[in-house]
Amino acid sequence: MAGAGKRRPLSIGAPPAEWYAVGMSTDAKDTETRSSLDDIIDLYKKDIDRTLIRETLKLSVEERLVRMMNFMRDLEELRQGKS
């Protein structure tokens, strides 16, 4: 990739904060301030009902697949104009 900036590779054992801060400074003064990315994430988080995510994660894989198949069946019925 000609012209691409050099990026250091992430190690699999890298802490999650490093995944989002590749190429950014990790000075103590920088970690205390919020980035514009943090503000954007906060805007999205306010509209997410995390209780639904938690409930879904409590389901087994089979239960999740059954839910998805039921949803797809209902969606197909709506597309065909059935009720």
**What confidence tens digit (pLDDT) does each residue in 42-74 have?**
888 888 888 988 999 999 999 999 999 999 999
- The answer to the question of residue 75 being in a domain is yes
Indicate whether 20 and 35 sit together in one domain: yes
Mean pLDDT, the chain, rounded, equals 75
- The answer to the question of residue 28 being in a domain is yes
Indicate whether 83 and 53 sit together in one domain: yes
State the pTM of this model: 0.43
Indicate whether 55 and 83 sit together in one domain: yes
Host domain of residue 31: 13-48
| Backbone angle region of 23, left / alpha / beta, with phi > 0 → left and psi within -120 to 50 → alpha | left
Number of domains in the chain: 2
Entry field: residues in the chain: 83
- The answer to the question of residue 1 being in a domain is no
Indicate whether 54 and 44 sit together in one domain: no
